[in-house]
Amino acid sequence: MPSYAWVLGVRPGYEDEYRRRHDELWPEMADCLRAAGIRNYHIFRHGLTLFGYFETDDLEATITALREDPVNRRWSDYMADIMQVDLDPRTGFPFLLPRQWSLD
C-alpha cells in the first residue's frame, strides 16, 4: 500500500494542548479519516515539529474526500489556533514529503 508523510508545526507553548486534543479526538473525525481511505496513521512530535505518516490506496481520492468533509473542516478550524500549517496550494493539503529511502 502506498505510504505518505507530512511535516507541520505546533505553535510554541501549545504542545500539551495539541496532545490533549488528539487524546480526545472526536469519534466522527476518526470516522472521517477512515472514510477518506486513510489507514495506519501516526503522528510523531519532536519539539514543535510534527511528523505524520499514513497509508492510502488512492491519495487523490483521499485528499478530495477530506477537503469536502464538513467534519474535517471543523477539526481544521478547531486546531488552527495551535498549529503552524503550510498547505500545498494545488491540493489544499499539507505538503507531502518525498520518500528518500525504505527498508523492507
Question: How do residues 2-55 score in pLDDT, each as one tens digit?
Answer: 999 999 999 999 999 999 999 999 999 999 999 999 999 999 999 999 999 999
Task: State the residue range of the domain holding 72.
Answer: 3-94
Q: What is the CATH number of the domain that holds 18?
A: 3.30.70.100
22 is catalytic: yes
How much of the chain, in percent, has pLDDT values that exceed 90?
93
82 in a domain, yes or no?
yes
Residue 54 has a pLDDT of 97
Sequential DSSP letters for 24-70: T--HHHHHHHHHTT-EEEEEEEETTEEEEEEE-S-HHHHHHHHHH-H
18 in a domain, yes or no?
yes
* Whether the predicted pLDDT of 1 surpasses 90: no
99 in a domain, yes or no?
no
Considering the candidates 22, 34, 73, 99, report the single residue annotated as catalytic: 22
101 in a domain, yes or no?
no
14 in a domain, yes or no?
yes
103 in a domain, yes or no?
no
Q: How many domains does the chain have?
A: 1
